[in-house]
A = this chain, B = another copy of it.
């Protein structure tokens, strides 16, 4: 009962003020799934995220164009380096990463689409209050719409829709997020990456929270 009263009080307290764009906790570990509207891409990934050290690790498997793929990458934005890691063969390719690090956040110029409870606010543990934001990102190929949902308490990512010309709407769903790094070592290149030579530069759109996955 106490929990429930607290939950309702917190909810009402939050409803009383207009939500503001927020930044997610600097250290996060969790999972995500990505799917494209045209069903070309389906992927599941475990991620580690460190906004303090500007590092992201993604261990992903899925299918693209009916071909399965496995991708394990470590993005070190401060060094401007990306490692593609093959744990089975214990090999590594090292590529330049020209993109700036974009923290997981709701951009300042995003518009609040709405605040809702996923599940129910009628009992403890039955729901979570979330805010949904929308806006446009300026990409090389023109503006791209996004819609992003985060928890009202904690600014934990819930889902992101990002519109691409290639695949239509891309949906990224986050889950099993915990604050902190469960295994900090996963953000350090494995020792078999030490000999990897830096490969040719790629010319891509900037990597952001929304098109990263």
Contact = CB atoms under 8 A, between A and B. Distances in A.
Copies in the complex: 2
Given A31-B116, A116-B175, A126 B7 contact: no
Interface string A154-191: 10101000000000000000011111100000000000
A119 B10 contact: no
Given A6-B3, A156-B126, A118 B175 contact: yes
Nearest to A30: B120
Interface residues of A, number: 37
A122 interface: yes
Given A37-B37, A118-B118, A118-B158, A123 B2 contact: no
A125 B158 contact: no
B117 A176 contact: yes
A127 interface: yes
A107 B123 CA distance: 24
A124 interface: yes
A151 B122 contact: no
A31 to B, nearest CB: 7
B154 A122 contact: yes
Nearest to A24: B120
Interface string A19-41: 00000000000110000010100
A187 B180 CA distance: 48
A153 interface: yes
A153 B126 contact: yes
B7 A117 contact: no
Contacts of A129: 125
Interface in A1-25: 2-3, 6-7, 10-11
